[in-house]
């Protein structure tokens, strides 16, 4: 079974030929495509796509920068404004209804924003972790420059079902987490030209 654990088929670039994209995926042997949400618009679009295409499996989340959309000047570019707590409640309602297969993407980002935003990011991250635990759903993690902090929070919450999307942290930390916690680390398509990802791919346990 082949599963794409992280895709964004809600992106406008896929709109003109989504039928063809889905057919190519099926022809290539994919049995499921997990489409990850970022904020209210993409979360709802994913749910609609899942009804249209059986191969699409919804994962709803709040991207770290979207989680702090209210901070305005702290952000590197404009973000869509929405009530984060309302969206957390919506995601939980979909988890309770059995409408989703995972929570994500979610996590912490220290690449685009500074330390003054971390507490707000963590609050949302922890809320989504608790939803995942309550409904026994895996978490799909986005983290940049804050890999160790993200791992510490996940360990604190004793989370078992985790996939780090496009992990860019230390290889040893990933290997330890995979061996001790059973966490997964997905390897992006650009691993064929990125030495760090190639090293991670060769080092992680199967």
Residue 191 phi, psi (nearest 5): -65, -20
- List the alpha helices (DSSP H) in the chain: 18-27, 40-52, 84-96, 118-134, 147-156, 171-181, 195-203
34 bridge partner residues: 57
Tens digits of per-residue pLDDT, 20-50? Answer: 999 999 999 999 999 999 999 999 999 999 9
Sequence-ordered list of residues with C-beta below 8 angstroms from that of 96, at least 6 positions apart, any chain: 135
Q: Where are the domains of the chain?
A: 2-165
Are β-strands 139-144 and 2-7 bridged in parallel, bridged antiparallel, or unpaired? unpaired
Range 9-19 average pLDDT: 94
Integer Cα distance of 187 and 66 in angstroms: 24
pLDDT-derived band at 100, boundaries 50, 70, 90: very high
pLDDT of 193 > 70? The answer is: no
53-72 pLDDT, tens digit per residue, is 999 999 999 999 999 999 98
In this prediction, residue 166 carries a pLDDT of 82
**What pTM, to 2 d.p., does this model score?**
0.93
Q: pLDDT tens, 107-150?
A: 999 999 999 999 999 999 999 999 999 999 999 999 999 999 99
pLDDT at 194: 55
Class of domain 2-165: alpha beta
Read off the pLDDT band of 196 (50, 70, 90). Answer: low
């Amino acid at each position: 079974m082949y599963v794409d654990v992280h895709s964004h088929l809600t992106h406008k670039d896929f709109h003109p030929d989504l039928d063809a994209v889905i057919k190519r995926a099926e022809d290539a042997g994919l049995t499921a495509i997990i489409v990850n949400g970022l904020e209210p618009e993409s979360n709802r679009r994913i749910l609609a796509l899942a009804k249209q295409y059986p191969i699409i499996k919804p994962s709803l989340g709040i991207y770290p920068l979207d989680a702090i959309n209210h901070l305005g000047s702290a952000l590197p570019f404009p973000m869509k404004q929405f009530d984060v707590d309302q969206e957390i409640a919506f995601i939980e309602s979909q988890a309770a209804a059995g409408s989703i297969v995972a929570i994500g993407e979610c996590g912490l980002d220290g690449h685009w924003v500074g330390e003054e935003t971390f507490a707000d990011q963590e609050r949302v991250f922890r809320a989504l972790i608790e939803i995942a635990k309550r409904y026994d759903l895996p978490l799909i993690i986005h983290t940049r420059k804050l890999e160790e902090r993200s791992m510490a929070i996940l360990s604190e919450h004793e989370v078992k079902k985790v996939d780090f999307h496009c992990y860019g942290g230390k290889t040893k930390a990933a290997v330890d987490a995979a061996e001790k916690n059973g966490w997964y680390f997905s390897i992006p398509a650009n691993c064929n030209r990125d030495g760090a990802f190639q090293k991670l791919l060769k080092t992680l346990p199967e």
